[in-house]
Amino acid sequence: MKKLLLSAIFLLGAGMAQAQLKVVESGDVVIGNTSPISGSALTINGAKNLSIKRSVLNASGAIEGVKSEVTRNGSEYAIGVYGSAEKSSTNGNYYTGRCYGVLGIGSGGMPGYTYGVAGVIPTTTMGGAGVYGSACGVYGIDPGDEYAGYFYGDVKALGNLSVTGNITGVLLTPSANSSILQHDYSVSNLRNSNITNLIGNLQPTTYLYKTNRPLESDAINKYQQNTNEGDSVKICEDEVPLSYIEKQIYIKHHYGLSADQLEEVFPDLVYENEDGTKSINYVEMVPILVQAINELSAKVTALEGNNGAARKVATNVDGVGESVQVLSLGQNRPNPFGTTTDIEVTVPENVQSAFVYVYDLQGKEVQQVDITGRGKQTVQLNAAELTDGMYLYSLIADGLVVETRRMIVRK
């Protein structure tokens, strides 16, 4: 009697299980009231979560709750874990709430590390990324204006950060008196180094960026057509049309310095990249330029200090009612100029000699004009022998500096 009762219970449980657990002709297993998914060995359909809990005490090494291994034999994609979350809708209205394709939460890792999601690639790969987020959509399909990655909180990069688009925000660097810096040099060393002489030979240049990416918005996305080209994320980068900001990057002229020239005078501002090219730390050039401006201001002040003595040359005027002419030097026009520019000067009759001298920012004389006439007149300077940049020009009468002004040559 007891065996008969146990057999009945077993048959009843098997009948109930048969409604939930099915093995189809292909050998695939189906759990729930659903049909098997093509290519899936196990298909589960239910209103509740599938919960897997594993507790191991005193274990060494990694404890794996769920492990998935996929081997690719052809050119198709191989996906270890695929997560998709969708909101259902009623009459076209989607329910509120958030959807996560993959949600990773790490806790209790102290004193070890804790990661919500960790992605690692071996160093022997031809290319790729530990974690890859694409705004090109699933396998390169562009969904519109979305974020490939969104971080709420601080983000730290220990390696190089490469950005092909623009960076929006405030770029900050530590203050020179920050407690996190190690001070090896005194500020007085920079103050006494005559920066204007060091940067005087640097020649700014203009350039355009090269790109193989299409500048038009109707460019064809070839991402899905190149599945045999490897697992490189560059496929998507090269074929997706440029954004509005990126288009301007490749259209507009950019301004920079030669890394080789700068390295000769300020080697600490030049960095060598892994591919052998060089980059410049333009942010830290700002303090150097500030010091150069201070040095130029001091030179101009020293030159202008003799104005009072020079102007006294023209104070001896005979005759009552005669107009008094005073030595003066006007601002050149046009300014900046690329060919010639005019300077209005006033030289009284009693001045023995008068000249207009042009100096570069290192104080070297680059041009001289002898003023033979007297009274108010115009002196013309020619930029044929001058390179682009800022210059100082002075009116010198009877060996004294009357006045000094600035002018800019831009061809």
pLDDT tens digits along 173-230: 877 777 767 666 555 556 556 788 788 778 888 888 887 766 654 443 443 344 344 4
Q: Give pTM, 2 decimals.
A: 0.51
CA distances from 122 to 119, 125, 128, 130 (A): 10, 6, 10, 9
Distances (CA, A) of 84 to 42, 104, 117, 133: 17, 14, 16, 15
Contacts of 158 (CB under 8 A, 6+ apart): none
Q: What is the mean pLDDT of residues 48-65?
A: 69
Task: Give dist(CA 106, CA 254) in Å, integer.
Answer: 45
Is 349 part of any domain?
yes
Q: How far is CA 39 from the centre of its chain?
A: 45
- Chain position carrying tokens 């890792």: 109
Is there a domain that residue 7 lies in?
no
State both tokens at 266. 């300020």
Backbone Cα Rg of the chain:
38
Going along 197-298, which residue ranges are E strands?
Answer: 205-207, 254-256, 270-272, 278-280
Give yes or no for residue 64 having a pLDDT over 70: yes
What's the confidence (pLDDT) of residue 363? 82
Positive or negative, the Cα torsion across 202, 207, 212, 217?
positive
Report the C-alpha gap between 237 and 162 in whole angstroms. 13
d(CA 369, CA 324): 25
Residue 115 scores a pLDDT above 80: yes
Split at pLDDT 50, 70, 90, the class of 262 is very high
Angle at 38 between CA 35 and CA 44, to 5 degrees: 45
Does a structural domain hold residue 98? no
Q: Would you say residue 64 lies in a domain?
A: no
pLDDT digits (tens, 9 = 90+) for 270-326: 999 888 889 999 999 998 888 888 877 777 766 655 555 445 444 444 444 445 568
- CA 8 to centroid of chain Cα atoms: 74
pLDDT of residue 213: 65
Task: Assign residue 335 the CATH number of its domain.
Answer: 2.60.40.1930
Domain count, the chain: 1
The domain of 342 spans 309-409
pLDDT at 143 over 60: no
Q: Is residue 138 part of a domain?
A: no
Residue appearing with tokens 């006494």:
192
| DSSP structure class, residue 374 | -
**10 in any annotated domain:** no
Domain-embedded: residue 83:
no
Do residues 231 and 259 lie in contact, with contact meaning Cβ atoms separated by under 8 Å? Answer: no
Q: Round to whole Å and give the CA distance between 156 and 41.
A: 41
In a domain, 385, yes or no: yes
pLDDT given for residue 233 in this prediction: 44
